[in-house]
Amino acid sequence: MTHNTKVKPTELKSDGILVKCGGFSTQLSKHVTGKIDGDPLWGSRFDYENPSAVIRTHLDFLESGAQIILSNTYQSSVDGFMKYLHLSREESIALIRSSCKLAKEARDMYMKNVTECKGISEPVLVLGSVGPYGATLHDGSEYDGSYATKMTRHEIQNFHRPRIDALVAEGVDGLAVETIPCLMEAEAITEMLLRQYPEVKFWVSFQCKDDLHLANGETFANAALSIWNMVKENNKYNPKEKIFGIGVNCVNPKFVANLFKSLLRNETDLPPLVVYSNRGEIFDSKKGWTGAENCIPIEAFVPEWIGLGASIIGGCCRVYPEDISRIRKCVNSYTSETN
Ligand SMILES: [Zn+2]
């Protein structure tokens, strides 16, 4: 494995739009025989059981044009690995680190191939996925944020710290704090990152239940501004050095434009926006994903998202490499028109 392809986030064009990978577990399910949806560790189990499938999944997205990939650590936790894989604490931390290694290995393999074929390759970022506390409860609370009133900021920070430490120690290019259902958790993680991890660049992405509100009921506009103000207080002169963006993920794509407009309505000083929606299907715990026949292709939404200021665009659940390829084409055509 080579490390000479590592890129500092600041080396990327700040005015460019970057394409993120799609739904990792969605694509991973094509490469493994075990069931992923419904497993208490979701896709994270396969860092342990089938690391080559994890690398193959990253490569699928890279070969489809993703410029940002996320470690397969959305649902990884020390407690979860100890409970469900019967690992020790140290082994659990090592497994989180190895998830980053798999992502970096895929990135290095991809960039080596592209460089050999084309003589040049574009930078690819490997970010550590930091899913919400609720994901590890395995009771759906990541989609309602109901734990927000039962826990303190300090408890939330203590939950997130071991995984963040492992991701940072492994040298990720930043963190994707994602699918966060409640403002309290986003503020707790942001506060911790700004104070205790000053070198780490990150994004904060919320899970929203409609075209105005977070899963837990706060408005997206207020939540996004709260995080943006925390970042600006921390870095008055160049807050965008600190944060890739603030946005939404695993939401229905039809909600995104209104969510962004709600933020744009009264503000002129705004963060870069991040969006990686799901396909627009509905998850039913008995039937699985339903409603595929009613979905509009995600790339159809992309021009409007770009018009509203999205600077990182990708996919979440049920968004496949083929979709990422079409999103990338759409972004490319936009950037070539405006250059
Ligand atoms: Zn998702």
Residue 143 CB neighbour total at 10 angstroms:
18
Question: What does the pLDDT read at residue 119?
Answer: 84
**Ligand 1 centroid distance, CA of 278 (Å):** 6
**How many CB atoms neighbour CB 30 within 10 A?**
12
E strand or H helix that includes residue 258: helix 253-264
d(CA 148, CA 135): 13
What pLDDT is recorded for position 10? 39
The pLDDT value recorded for residue 339 is: 55
Distance 191 CA to ligand 1 centre (A): 25
The CATH class of the 18-338 domain is alpha beta
d(CA 338, ligand 1 centre) in Å: 31
**Tell me, what's the pLDDT at 337?**
64
Q: Ligand 1 centre from 110 Cα, in Å? A: 24
> Could you tell me the distance, in angstroms and rounded to a whole number, from the CA of residue 337 to the centre of ligand 1?
31
Q: What's 251's DSSP letter? A: S
CA distance readout (Å), 339 to 153, 189, 333: 44, 37, 10
pLDDT in tens, the chain (339 residues): 333 344 444 344 434 899 999 999 999 999 998 777 778 888 899 999 999 999 999 999 999 999 999 999 999 999 999 999 999 999 999 999 999 999 999 999 999 999 899 887 789 999 999 999 999 887 888 889 999 999 999 999 999 999 999 999 999 999 999 999 999 999 999 999 999 999 999 999 999 999 999 999 999 999 999 999 999 999 999 999 999 999 999 999 999 999 999 999 877 889 999 999 999 988 777 777 888 888 899 999 999 999 999 999 999 999 999 999 999 999 999 877 655
Is residue 208 annotated as involved in ligand binding? Answer: no
Q: For residue 250, report the distance from its CA to the centre of ligand 1, in Å.
A: 4
Asked whether residue 100 is marked as a ligand-binding residue, the answer is no
**Domain locations in the chain as residue ranges:** 18-338
Report the run of H or E that residue 179 belongs to, with start and end. strand 174-180
CA distance 36 to 104: 23
CA of 281 to the centre of ligand 1 (A): 11
Cα separation of 104 and 321, whole Å?
Answer: 18
pLDDT for res 118: 86
250 is in an annotated binding site: yes
Q: What pLDDT is attached to residue 52?
A: 97
CA of 248 to the centre of ligand 1 (A): 10
